[in-house]
Amino acid sequence: MSTPAVTRWTRLGYATGVLSFTTKDVAFGSFVLFYYVSVVGLSGTLAGVVLFIALAWDALTDPIIGSFSDNLRSRWGRRHPLMAASGIPLAASLYLLFSVPEGLGQMGLFLWMLGVCIALRTFITLFTVPYLALGAELSNDYLERSKIAGARTLFGWLAGILLTAGAWYFVFDTSEGVDGRLITANYHLWGTVSFAVVAIFTTLVLVVTRKRIPFLPQANVGNAFSLKQLAEDLTIAFKNSNFKYLFFVMLTLGVATGLNGALGTHLNTYFWEFTTAQLAVLTLLVVVPIAVMTLMMNWLNERIEKQTVLNICIIGLVINTLWLIPGRLLDWIPSNGTDAIFYIVTAQVGISSALVIWFQTVSASVIADITDEQEYLTHKRQEGVFFAAQGFSIKFVTGFGSLVGGVVIDLIRLPVGAAPGTVEADIIFNLGIVMGPCIALSLLVPYFFSRKITLSRARHSEIRSLLDARGHTPDAPPRQNPDASPEQAPA
């Protein structure tokens, strides 16, 4: 039985599943910290502690779900059962996140946020890890994998832009002279929208990809999930140097981008003093550089090695972060309230967004290539474990960033419920230092790790040829070869 080609409909239908964590990322990147700290009144440090605990929970559950998914045997394959079980509970968790009961004190708010975040993190892991692994299994072609990852990344970005812009313009708009960002009922409405979006699109991806189940790799016969198996899977995975360095790239990059996301609403509200209508327009205008990058991406990826792309993206982010906020602090660029500063900030955000979407697309494609390398070296496919690492790094962006962001809010003493333009100048200055030079310098760490990745297109092509010669084809599930050893890897 031959494997049917990945059609455009299958590729796009699969990509819609990205809305599960896109909606979560929009929530945590734009609203959660602002809602709990600046609206509900929870201490920034306590909010940060909640998100640190949730991040620690992710560190435990991500590899467990990855290993469990890799070794799951069922009539519906390895990935679909977990995705099906987690969609609606994930949607419900997002609704509860923005539905804090009235009258809770600091400890009550802390416990509510903690319980909901733990539940949300659990269900997002149950969906995201097998979903990402499924993307790598739809095709073993070097360029087709980039197209699949590109469709997923592009759809996620466009959906994130539309969700964020729609939220600013329709949900959090100014009402009766009150800034919509400070109205509690608006967050309840946003929770309802989040529920509907996640419930619909987590179901759609299952419907679209169900016909691919017979052609997907299955768990190796005789393997079953256990804690011992999990420990062995993690040990084997981190012996692969390319995987190890890529994991560190994604994790350390998440520190910088996560902090930028966690405090982005505070920065736009108090540092740039943008209105919600301006934020909606700014978000929509980011579509332009993303569209340009999308049109160029396949052409660029055909001509530039994937590891080189990672280096270009990170250095580009360093340069693009260094000039804007320091320029405003030193009065080298136009003042707040002018059209010029709005378009300058929009251009800077657009460039960073284009670089991040390129990085995300290529890094996901690199993981799929490393999976082939790992199969050749160890006779074991570990999509679940590898994409659990990517899933953890994605959640690390919002988790660790919100932890640091909450502490920063308390350290600089940003007041609760303050209207734009009313915050003291020294507080605004300190916020700018954190969001400008500090973030730019932290980006040098992932650049250091990205330079150590060595899996080239030529090496991957050689590995694919050797795998096919060994007997692994797209038509058959992966199998162990007792006659080969890890030392027989291509030079």
365-388 pLDDT, tens digit per residue, is: 888 888 888 888 888 777 767 777
As beta bridge partners, residue 371 has none
- Alpha carbon 127 to chain centroid, angstroms: 13
Q: Quote the pLDDT of residue 298.
A: 81
Q: Would you tell me the crossing angle of helices 339-378 and 142-166 to the nearest 10 degrees?
A: 140
- CA-to-CA separations, 296 to 210, 341, 399, 479, in angstroms, rounded: 31, 28, 32, 38
Q: Does domain 14-212+226-476 have CATH number 3.90.1150.10?
A: no
Query: Angle at CA 421, nearest 5°, toward 420 and 423?
Result: 90
Q: Quote the pLDDT of residue 447.
A: 95
Structural tokens at position 274:
């943008």
DSSP state of 387: H
Give the pLDDT confidence of 438-456 residue by residue, as tens digits: 999 999 999 999 999 988 8
Full DSSP string of 197-246: HHHHHHHHHHHHHGGGGGGS--PPTT----HHHHHHHHHHHHTSHHHHHH
| CA atoms of 382 and 230, how far apart (whole Å) | 11
DSSP-derived 3-state class of residue 159:
helix
**Cβ-contact 277, 173 below 8 angstroms:** yes
| CA atoms of 365 and 170, how far apart (whole Å) | 36
Q: Quote the pLDDT of residue 116.
A: 96
Helix (H) or strand (E) holding 458: helix 457-470
Length of the chain: 491
The number of beta carbons lying within 10 Å of the beta carbon of residue 311 is: 18
Q: Quote the pLDDT of residue 420.
A: 83
Structural tokens at position 37:
């700290």
Q: Quote the pLDDT of residue 211.
A: 84
The number of beta carbons lying within 10 Å of the beta carbon of residue 277 is: 14
As beta bridge partners, residue 472 has none
Give the pLDDT confidence of 105-148 residue by residue, as tens digits: 999 999 999 999 999 999 998 998 899 888 878 877 767 777 88
- CA-to-CA separations, 486 to 193, 247, 489, in angstroms, rounded: 50, 22, 6
**Domain extents in the chain:** 14-212+226-476
Query: Angle at CA 16, nearest 5°, toward 11 and 22?
Result: 135
Q: Phi and psi dihedrals of 448, rounded to 5?
A: -60, -45
Ranges in the chain, pLDDT < 50: 1, 472-491
**Cβ-contact 248, 449 below 8 angstroms:** yes
Q: Quote the pLDDT of residue 59.
A: 73
DSSP-derived 3-state class of residue 413:
coil
DSSP state of 181: G
Which runs of consecutive H residues, i.e. helices, occur in 304-338?
306-322, 324-329
Q: Quote the pLDDT of residue 258.
A: 76
Q: Quote the pLDDT of residue 110.
A: 96
DSSP-derived 3-state class of residue 178:
strand
Fill in the amino acid letter for 470: R
Fill in the amino acid letter for 136: A
Q: Quote the pLDDT of residue 82.
A: 93
| CA atoms of 405 and 411, how far apart (whole Å) | 10
| CA atoms of 437 and 321, how far apart (whole Å) | 8
Q: Quote the pLDDT of residue 475.
A: 38
Full DSSP string of 236-290: HHHTSHHHHHHHHHHHHHHHHHHHHHHTHHHIIIIIS---HHHHHHHHHHTHHHH
